[in-house]
Amino acid sequence: DTQRDELVRRIKRLLIERNAVLVAHYYVDESLQRLADETGGCVSDSLEMARFGKEHPAATLVVAGVRFMGETAKILSPEKRVLMPTLEAECSLDLGCPADEFAKFRAQYPDHTVVVYSNTSVDVKAQADYVVTSSIAVPLVEHLRDQGKKVLWAPDKHLGDYIRRTTGADMVLWDGSCVVHDEFRSWALEDLRGRHPGAAVLVHPESPREVIHQADVVGSTSQLIAAVKDRPEQEFIVATDKGIFYKMQQAAPDKKLIEAPTGGHSATCTSCAHCPWMAMNDLVSLAETLEDTNEPAKNEIFVDETARQKALVATQRMLDFAA
């Protein structure tokens, strides 16, 4: 409709005026992913978002996603202004791993190499030897295992359990989970597979073990999109946030995508596979962020410099390992 078109035009103008580029996660609203595509920004997983933001020449990065993604951009590009459509967009993994409690956990395992998922705060990353995303978690832990290292992993227990089973590494796990992926139900998935025998099952490893066991492909968001494009099947059952369907459908317009079933944690929600924090990003909040010329801006990311420098070491190791 015309109101929406006008909003999109305004945002495009503001991005240029403010020398800003839009970096969006696969899980945010389609309208934002499309806008990032159309304006020379990036739509990706958290690893590629980090890399893109660091390398892009724009003075301002606008990160549509959740807080840790904005913080990662600031860790890597302290000279840039980092804005987000909202600063309220959290992540249950980040919230479930407070820095002070993590320090106590870490103190119990002084001989372990500390590997944390990117879905953590700057203060947790500052305590890590390595930051990883799901696309490189397995190869990095294999590398550490081959060096005879024991690994302390945080915060996602399902991903940690998957890495431990896949690599056979000696690992202790923090007890955290993602509110979206933890909801996928193995019994309901079995039932759905029975009704779609030709479908390939794609699962993000933040899902429970019994769901991962039924997967044809276990992988990061980028790896699951590649699977839809490259595999011969015409139907896919997808166990990750349904925001990803936009890019999957773009990659393979003729293929059929089916949502994996969730437990349904509220009466109004029969398909819950969408992150409530990712959903807080929309065109209106993006426009408001770009229009705010206060110093500092309302939705600007700031991080403590001492913690940033420590977190940078572990985050840079992720980029170097992935390169």
Decide if residue 178 touches ligand SF4 (CB under 6 A). Answer: yes
Choosing from 29, 45, 71, 241, the residue that interacts with ligand SF4 (CB under 6 A) is 241
Residues 46 and 289: their CA atoms lie apart, in Å, by 21
Number of residues that bind ligand SF4 (CB under 6 A): 14
Q: Which is nearer to ligand CIZ, 127 or 221 (CB)?
A: 221
Phi, psi of 129 (to 5 degrees): -85, -40
Q: Does 93 bind ligand SF4 (CB under 6 A)?
A: yes
Long-range contacts of 161-169 (CB under 8 A, 24+ apart): 161/209, 162/205, 162/209, 162/212, 162/218, 163/137, 163/138, 163/205, 166/138, 167/138, 167/141, 167/142, 169/141, 169/142, 169/144, 169/145
SS3 66: coil
| Residue 46 binding result from ligand SF4, ligand CIZ, none, given CB thresholds of 5 to 8 Å by partner type | ligand CIZ
Q: Is 120 in the site for ligand SF4 (CB under 6 A)?
A: no
- Among ligand CIZ, ligand SF4, none, residue 315 binds (CB under 5-8 Å by kind): none
Binding ligand SF4 (rule: CB under 6 A), the pick from 72, 86, 113, 119 is 119
CA torsion, ordered 164, 219, 276, 67, to nearest 10 deg: 80
**DSSP 8-state secondary structure symbol assigned to residue 200:** E
CB-nearer residue toward ligand CIZ: 206 or 300: 206
Which residue's CB is nearer to ligand SF4, number 8 or number 136? Answer: 136
113 binds, among ligand SF4, ligand CIZ, none (CB under 5 to 8 A by kind): none
The residues that touch ligand SF4, with contacts defined as CB under 6 A, are 27, 66, 91-93, 119, 178-180, 206, 241, 275, 277-278
